[in-house]
């Protein structure tokens, strides 16, 4: 009994399986029973503690090698999900279980699988819209409005948490339309296509800066690109412009006539002065002398002429051509 206990206490000793069998020999064929009946422990499977330990270790190694690629893939996915890269001109907003925090440019670590990333551009952007607004006269005018803006990187988290990522449609466009209507309602239609248009742009920019700057939107410029007036107003403006052109033309004509009248007056004055000077220097004796000189020259001519003197001595001679048929 003691030897049996010692044998069982050794880990490397074999433990035979005891099987109860009929030990009564068969008288008919003893040799046959001796060959076929398992009467020793060597004929049964033997399980030892060492064999059990080896089988457990082998099964553990097989399980480890089977699941290692899966574990490696899961680890790679978790690592890649925990690193977020924010490009230049962007600011990231990481939202984890309802808590938002900002991410700067470059690589950032986040909690994988439970973090949503929103990328907000801080570059200069443009919003264009077509607005139908009233004027002071009650006319409906169509205006093409362009707003150039950018997002303040230090207020991105506040903007996303209070407004969302659709801040252009939710915040900028309604505010710009409202401010534009306020300004055009106090302005005449002609102010939208004259020099007063620049003042409207300046006032609109100031109003948008006041409304959007504290929300994280930096307004850089506001442009009124195109103005489409009602047809009746366009026709009236064209008629007025044509009348103004006609008035300017008539004014030019009148100015030209006045200048021509002044020119003629000056010319007449010059002629009158000339005649006055000439008349004051002409006397009857001079005229008689000039007549005598002319008569002498006629008489000296080689052509045949008839010279008829006047009835009185003060009259000039009358010359008749002698070659006429008469």
Q: Is the pLDDT reported for residue 269 higher than 80?
A: yes
What is the model's pLDDT at position 97?
A: 84
- Among candidate residues 181, 164, 196, 90, the one with its CA nearest the CA of residue 129: 181
- Mean predicted confidence (pLDDT) in 58-75: 63
- Mean predicted confidence (pLDDT) in 258-268: 89
Distance CA 193, CA 143 (A): 11
- Beta-bridged to residue 92, according to DSSP, are 103, 119
- Mean predicted confidence (pLDDT) in 113-121: 83
Per the model's pLDDT, the better-predicted residue between 213 and 236 turns out to be 213
Q: Binning pLDDT at 50, 70 and 90, where does residue 271 land?
A: confident
- Among candidate residues 191, 179, 176, the one with its CA nearest the CA of residue 227: 191
Q: Is the pLDDT reported for residue 69 higher than 50?
A: yes
- Mean predicted confidence (pLDDT) in 229-233: 77
Burial class of residue 105 in the structure, from the number of CB atoms within 10 Å of its CB (0-12 exposed, 13-18 middle, 19+ buried)? middle
Q: Is the pLDDT reported for residue 237 higher than 60?
A: yes
Q: Is the pLDDT reported for residue 307 higher than 80?
A: no
What is the model's pLDDT at position 212?
A: 94
Task: Take residue 302 and report the two structure tokens written for it.
Answer: 């080689």
Instruction: Please give the share of the chain, as a percent, with pLDDT higher than 90.
Output: 22
DSSP 303: S
pLDDT digits (tens, 9 = 90+) for 7-65: 444 444 444 444 444 444 444 443 444 444 444 444 444 545 555 555 555 565 556 56
What is the model's pLDDT at position 151?
A: 95
- Mean predicted confidence (pLDDT) in 274-279: 76
Distance CA 199, CA 203 (A): 6
Any alpha helices (H) in 89-172, and if so which ranges? 156-162, 167
Q: Which helix (H) or strand (E) holds 310?
A: none
Distance CA 103, CA 153 (A): 10
What is the model's pLDDT at position 7?
A: 46
What is the reported pTM? 0.53
Helix axes 196-212, 173-185, angle to 10 degrees: 140
Q: Which domains does the chain have, with CATH numbers?
A: 81-120 (no CATH), 122-229 (3.30.479.30), 284-320 (no CATH)
Mean per-residue pLDDT of the chain: 75
Q: Is the pLDDT reported for residue 172 higher than 50?
A: yes
- Mean predicted confidence (pLDDT) in 244-262: 88
| Contact present, 153 and 91 (Cβ < 8 Å) | yes
Angle (CA) 109-215-143 rounded to 5° is 125
- Beta-bridged to residue 35, according to DSSP, are none
């Amino acid at each position: 009994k003691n030897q049996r206990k010692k044998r069982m206490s050794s880990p490397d000793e074999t433990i035979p399986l005891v099987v109860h069998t009929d030990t009564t020999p068969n008288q008919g064929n003893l040799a046959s029973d001796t060959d076929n009946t398992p009467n020793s422990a060597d004929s049964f499977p033997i399980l030892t503690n060492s064999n059990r330990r080896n089988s457990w270790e082998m099964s553990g190694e097989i399980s480890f090698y089977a699941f290692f690629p899966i574990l490696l893939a899961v680890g790679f996915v978790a690592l890649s999900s925990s690193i977020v890269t924010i490009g230049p001109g962007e600011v990231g907003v990481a939202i984890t279980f309802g808590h938002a925090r900002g991410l700067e440019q470059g690589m950032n670590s986040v909690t994988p699988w439970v973090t949503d990333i929103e990328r907000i551009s801080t570059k200069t952007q443009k919003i264009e819209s077509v607005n139908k607004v009233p004027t002071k006269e009650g006319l409906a005018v169509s205006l093409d409005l362009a707003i150039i803006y950018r997002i303040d990187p230090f207020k991105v988290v506040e903007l996303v948490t209070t407004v969302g990522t659709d801040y252009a449609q939710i915040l900028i466009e309604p505010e710009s339309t409202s401010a534009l209507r306020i300004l055009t309602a106090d302005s005449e239609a002609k102010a939208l296509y004259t020099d007063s248009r620049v003042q409207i742009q300046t006032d609109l920019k100031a109003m948008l800066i006041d409304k959007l700057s504290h929300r994280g939107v930096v307004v850089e410029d506001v442009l009124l690109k195109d103005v489409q007036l009602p047809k009746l107003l366009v026709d009236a403006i064209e008629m007025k412009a044509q009348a103004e052109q006609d008035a300017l033309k008539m004014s030019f004509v009148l100015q030209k006539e006045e200048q021509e009248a002044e020119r003629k007056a000056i010319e007449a004055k010059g002629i009158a002065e000339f005649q006055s000077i000439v008349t004051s220097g002409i006397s009857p004796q001079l005229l008689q002398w000039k007549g005598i000189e002319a008569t002498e020259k006629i008489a000296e001519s080689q052509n045949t002429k008839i010279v008829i003197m006047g009835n009185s001595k003060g009259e000039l001679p009358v010359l008749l051509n002698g070659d006429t048929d008469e």
